[in-house]
Amino acid sequence: METFYSLYPAFKHMHMTLIATSVLFFLVRFVLHMRKSPVLEKKAIKIAPHVIDTFLLLSGLILCFSIKQYPFVDPWMTEKLGAVVAYIVLATIVLKANRNTLFKVFAAFGAIGWVVYAAKLAILKQGVLLG
């Protein structure tokens, strides 16, 4: 039987695939939202982000435990969690807030910027703000 650590590459690749899926799905929903498409009202489109992001969170937790690095213990991981929360908040504002188009476009770029920052933290394992 394989050890848990030997499964790390599989969980890492699954996590990165879920990140790409989450961001791509956000961008598709953003375009549909800006076009005021009725497709956004379909049940699958409303449920899919929650399913994707739940598995994304679970895979992230598995990776945290497998490398023994945790938010609020390791500064880079705390900063990465903050970046993920900022992405979620901005993405929610983009898709739900009653704001003008320019605001939503800048918020969408901001959301993607936070994802890029979280990726940088994951690669370098050192943050700017905390260490």
Q: Is residue 36 part of a domain?
A: yes
Domain extent for 111: 5-124
Q: Is 22 exposed, middle or buried (0-12, 13-18, 19+ CB in 10 A)?
A: buried
pLDDT at position 3: 64
Q: How do residues 13-67 score in pLDDT, each as one tens digit?
A: 999 999 999 999 999 999 999 999 999 999 999 999 999 999 998 999 999 988 8
pTM equals: 0.87
Q: Is residue 131 part of a domain?
A: no
Q: Is it the case that residue 112 has pLDDT exceeding 60?
A: yes
Where do runs of H (alpha helix) occur along the chain? 8-34, 43-67, 75-96, 101-124
Grade residue 130 by pLDDT with cuts at 50, 70 and 90.
low
Q: Is residue 129 part of a domain?
A: no
Q: Is residue 27 part of a domain?
A: yes
pLDDT at position 126: 73
Q: Is residue 106 part of a domain?
A: yes
